[in-house]
Structure 1
Amino acid sequence: MTTDTIRELRQAFDDAELRADTERLEALLADDFVSIGEQGFSLDKRQWIERHADFGYLSLETTELDVRRYDRAAIVRCVQRSRATWRGETMTLTVRLSQVWVELPDGWRLAGIQFSPYAPA
């Protein structure tokens, strides 16, 4: 497994998010996945997938991508700019984002995401 493969998985995750492809998200996320939002709230795997009932991306752009590969884990850090709708309201957001990918017996899965407020350097 190379960092290129992690980059491909990260892109597959973004694509699934953009299309609200809940089946693909189900396959990409670890069973014990947790997301921590920029306001400190957390969502487990089921909550993350089900949020697509009220939430949808209009656009999603990732920049400043940095992938660090470890034995059976990888950490992805980037800046994400998005436009989305939440319960009919449009919102625009720029965040710093960290993802933790882990190698499990059935392949690589996204175990966690943490969003942080973006303050350009």
Structure 2
Amino acid sequence: MDTNQEVRELGQRWAEAEQRGDNAALAELAADDFTLVGPLGFVLVRDQWVNRYGNGGLVTHELSWDDYTIREYGDVTVAVGVVTQKAEFQGRPADGRFRVTQISVRRDGRRLLAGLHYSPIATPPGR
């Protein structure tokens, strides 16, 4: 399987795990040193990210990962794309459309998420 296919499949499995609220599947997808930077600048380490669904505070109804480009650097890939989600956090809407940088690594023959960085999509200043 080529790298682009590996990254596409990783993205699909990630989106499906988010929609199911599947902590175990997220844990399988994340490298031990995984880090997420959220759309408001907060940081979650692997265990925090994996366990977001554990207490029922987060519910993801829909999540898609589209319009991405993939760059490969040996065993590391950087994919920049768009995540669109319909979700709730502690009963409040958490819907959004975000530009997301996904960093993945190949370890022990598997492609794993090493990092995600979410940014709100907005019009650049002066436009």
**TM-score normalized by the length of structure 1:** 0.92
**What is the SS of the residue equivalent to 1:39?**
coil
* C-alpha separation in 2, matches of 1:105 and 1:4: 17
1:65-97: CA deviation from partner (whole Å, max 9, x where unpaired): 211222101111111111101011123211100
The residue type paired with residue 101 of structure 1 is: S
1:38-49 equivalences in 2 (<5 Å):
38-49=39-50
Q: C-alpha root-mean-square deviation of aligned residues, in Å?
A: 1.4
Q: Which moved more, 1:105-114 or 1:7-16?
A: 105-114
The residue type paired with residue 92 of structure 2 is: E
Match of 1:59 among 52, 57, 62: 62
* C-alpha separation in 2, matches of 1:51 and 1:36: 14
The Cα shift of 1:18 comes to 0.8
Aligned length: 121
Q: Is the 8 A contact 2:70 2:80 kept in 1?
A: yes
**TM-score normalized by the length of structure 2:** 0.88
**What is the SS of the residue equivalent to 1:100?**
strand
Report what 1:88 is aligned to: 91
Match of 2:81 among 71, 78, 81: 78
**Is 1:50 matched up with 2:48?**
no
* C-alpha separation in 1, matches of 2:68 and 2:77: 13
Report what 1:20 is aligned to: 21
Report what 1:69 is aligned to: 72
Percent identity over paired residues: 31
**What is the SS of the residue equivalent to 1:66?**
strand
**What is the SS of the residue equivalent to 2:74?**
coil
Match of 2:115 among 79, 87, 112: 112
Structure 2: tracts of 5 or more residues without a match: none
